């Protein structure tokens, strides 16, 4: 009888854990990102923590948080905890790279170099590509890393870190080929090009924004990014690339 009760207890615990994880995923899909993050953190397993990091970054990108830096630090901490628990967790690696990238954008160049954001971000993304070569977001982050290093570091920074516009384009194109219906990848590609050289890449960015706007969203995050892509496209057409860049990147300046 005692063994039966013990077995039932484990079954109940397992069911509860699964339900908790499911509720975190449902909260994320519905756009309740802070709730999803709290549920994932409470569960504490590697996948749950990676989801918590993803949810916090989604809130930073599409929400109206009072303190972006606090959420970014929390997302980074969750991703690091997830990787500490499971070094093979590609999702955690990608979320950590994304969190570091966003923190680097909000830092001065001197601070970003001192904290090693570019170097760590590159290592994380390259490891993710080795682990999961068909993971579209790994290639998208590789593309974003290259274009951002060129934009902020110029020729010297690009040479130091081994970044290039050509590599950035190639990585983003690979990501788009792997996930042609991903609105977020198309939008991030467009924004990266506008930031790099709005006059030169304005037409290409407009096509990517149109593609993002036409994607069928899979969750609330993609729905919000799709709407943002449409807004940026409208501003790009009506007021030009500089205004579009300001709209797209205001919270990361």
With a cut of 70, say whether residue 20 has pLDDT above it. Answer: no
Phi, psi of 142 (to 5 degrees): -60, -45
The Cα angle at residue 219 between residues 20 and 51, in degrees rounded to 5: 40
Look at 53 and 105; give whichever has higher pLDDT. 53
pLDDT of residue 12: 36
Q: Is the pLDDT of residue 118 over 60?
A: yes
What is the pLDDT confidence band of residue 140, given thresholds at 50, 70 and 90?
very high
Cα 163 to chain center, whole Å? 20
Q: Measured between alpha carbons, how far is residue 215 from residues 103, 175, 211, 226 in Å?
A: 28, 15, 6, 7
Q: Please indicate, yes or no, whether the overall pTM of this predicted structure exceeds 0.85.
A: yes
- Expressed in angstroms, the distance from the first to the final Cα of the chain is 64
The tokens for 72 are 């970014």
The share of the chain scoring above pLDDT 90, in percent, equals: 79
Residue 110: its pLDDT value, please? 85
- pLDDT tens track for 209-219: 999 999 999 99
Contact criterion met (CB below 8 Å) for 104 and 77: no
Which DSSP string do the residues of 44-111 spell out, in sequence order? -SHHHHHHHHHHHHHHHHHS--S-HHHHHHHHHHHHHHHHHH-TT-HHHHHHHHHHHHHHHHHS-HHH
Q: Contact 129/142 with Cβ under 8 angstroms?
A: yes
Per residue in 84-113, pLDDT (tens digit) is 999 999 999 999 999 999 999 888 888 988
Are residues 175 and 136 in contact, defined by beta-carbon separation less than 8 angstroms? yes
């Amino acid at each position: 009888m005692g063994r039966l009760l013990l077995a039932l207890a484990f079954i109940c615990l397992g069911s509860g854990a699964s339900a908790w994880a499911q509720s975190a995923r449902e909260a994320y899909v519905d756009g309740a990102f802070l709730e999803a993050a709290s549920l994932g953190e409470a569960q504490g397993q590697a996948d749950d923590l990676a989801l918590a990091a993803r949810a916090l970054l989604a809130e930073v990108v599409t929400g109206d948080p009072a303190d972006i830096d606090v959420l970014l630090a929390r997302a980074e901490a969750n991703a690091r905890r997830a990787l500490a628990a499971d070094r093979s967790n590609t999702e955690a690696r990608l979320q950590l790279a994304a969190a570091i990238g966003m923190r680097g954008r909000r830092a001065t160049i001197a601070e970003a170099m001192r904290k090693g954001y570019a170097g760590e971000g590159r290592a994380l993304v390259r490891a993710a590509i080795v682990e999961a070569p068909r993971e579209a977001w790994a290639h998208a982050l590789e593309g974003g890393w290259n274009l951002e290093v060129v934009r902020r570091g110029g020729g010297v920074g690009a040479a130091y870190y081994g970044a290039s516009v050509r590599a950035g384009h190639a990585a983003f194109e690979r990501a788009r080929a792997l996930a042609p219906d991903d609105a977020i990848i198309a939008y991030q590609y467009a924004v990266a090009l506008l930031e790099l050289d709005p006059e030169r890449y304005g037409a290409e960015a407009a096509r990517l924004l149109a593609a993002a706007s036409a994607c069928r969203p899979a969750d609330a995050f993609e729905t919000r990014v799709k709407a943002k892509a449409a807004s940026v496209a409208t501003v790009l057409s009506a007021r030009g690339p500089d205004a579009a860049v300001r709209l797209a990147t205001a919270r990361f300046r």
